[in-house]
Amino acid sequence: MPLQPLAGITVFENDSFVAGPSSCLALSQLGAEVIKIDPIKGGPDIDRWPLTADGASIYWGTLNRNKRSVAIDLRSEEGQELAQALITSPGENAGVFVENNVGRPFLADEVLRAKRADLIHVKVQGSADGGPGVDYTVNAETGIPLMTGPVDSPGPVNHVLPAWDLVCGQAAVTAVVMGLYHRAATGEGLYESIALKDVALAAVANLGWYTETLQPAGERAKQGNHIFGSFGASFRTADGRHVMITAITKRQWGNLVQVTGLEAVIDALQTSLETDFTLETNRYTYREILESLFKPWFAQRTAQQVAADLEGSGVLWGPYASAGEVAREALDSDQSGVLRSIESETLGTMLVGAQPIRVNDEYLTDAQPTVFGAETKAVLSERLGLDSAELGRLHDAGVIGGR
Q: Which residues form the catalytic set?
A: 165
| Shortest Cβ 278–a copy of itself spacing (Å) | 13
Interface characters, 244-283, with a copy of itself (x: CB under 8 A): x-x-xx------------------------------xx--
Q: Which is nearer to a copy of itself, 363 or 395 (CB)?
A: 363
> Which one among 160, 274, 332, 388 touches a copy of itself, defined by CB under 8 A?
160
- CB proximity list for 357: less than 8 A, separation 6 or greater: 30, 364
DSSP line for 153-168:
--S----SS-HHHHHH
274: left (phi over 0), alpha (psi -120 to 50) or beta: left
* Contact set for a copy of itself, span 109-138 (CB under 8 A): 128, 132-134, 136-138
| Shortest Cβ 393–a copy of itself spacing (Å) | 32
- Asked if 292 is part of the footprint of a copy of itself (rule: CB under 8 A), the reply reads no
Q: What are phi and psi for residue 319, nearest 5 degrees?
A: -80, 135
- Distance CA(34)–CA(27), nearest Å, equals 8
| Shortest Cβ 101–a copy of itself spacing (Å) | 14
> Which one among 1, 90, 103, 184 touches a copy of itself, defined by CB under 8 A?
184
Q: Which is nearer to a copy of itself, 248 or 371 (CB)?
A: 248
| Shortest Cβ 378–a copy of itself spacing (Å) | 25
Q: Which is nearer to a copy of itself, 85 or 140 (CB)?
A: 140
The region of 73-81, 227-235, 265-273, 300-308 touching a copy of itself under the rule CB under 8 A is 227-235
Tell me the one-letter amino acid at 2.
Answer: P
* Contact set for a copy of itself, span 50-89 (CB under 8 A): 50-53, 58-59, 61-63
| Exposed / middle / buried, residue 48 (Cβ in 10 Å: 0-12, 13-18, 19+) | middle
| Shortest Cβ 136–a copy of itself spacing (Å) | 5
For residue 105, the 8-state DSSP code is G
Helical residues (DSSP H) of 148-286, grouped into ranges: 163-186, 196-206, 209-213, 250-259, 263-273, 280-285
Q: To the nearest 10°, the Cα dihedral for 184, 186, 187, 193?
A: -80
Q: Which is nearer to a copy of itself, 326 or 397 (CB)?
A: 326
Q: Which is nearer to a copy of itself, 91 or 356 (CB)?
A: 356
Cβ pair 399, 376 in contact under 8 A: no
The region of 73-81, 94-102, 253-261, 317-325 touching a copy of itself under the rule CB under 8 A is 317-325
- Distance CA(170)–CA(178), nearest Å, equals 12
* Contact set for a copy of itself, span 333-392 (CB under 8 A): 337-339, 347-361
Q: Which is nearer to a copy of itself, 5 or 254 (CB)?
A: 5
* Contact set for a copy of itself, span 189-208 (CB under 8 A): 190-195, 197-199, 201-208
- Asked if 395 is part of the footprint of a copy of itself (rule: CB under 8 A), the reply reads no
For residue 233, the 8-state DSSP code is E
Q: Exposure pattern of 71-91 as b/e (b: 16+ CB <10 Å)?
A: bbbbebeebbebbbebbbbee
- Asked if 330 is part of the footprint of a copy of itself (rule: CB under 8 A), the reply reads yes
For residue 337, the 8-state DSSP code is S
The region of 32-40, 96-104, 232-240, 266-274 touching a copy of itself under the rule CB under 8 A is 232-240
Length of the chain in terms of residues written: 403
Interface characters, 22-41, with a copy of itself (x: CB under 8 A): x--xx---x-----------
* Contact set for a copy of itself, span 86-105 (CB under 8 A): none
Q: Please provide the distance, in angstroms rounded to a whole number, between the alpha carbons at the two ends of the chain.
A: 31
List beta partners, residue 191: 121
Nearest Cα neighbor of 209 from 196, 218, 198 is 218
Q: Which is nearer to a copy of itself, 155 or 385 (CB)?
A: 155
> Which one among 157, 269, 374, 378 touches a copy of itself, defined by CB under 8 A?
157
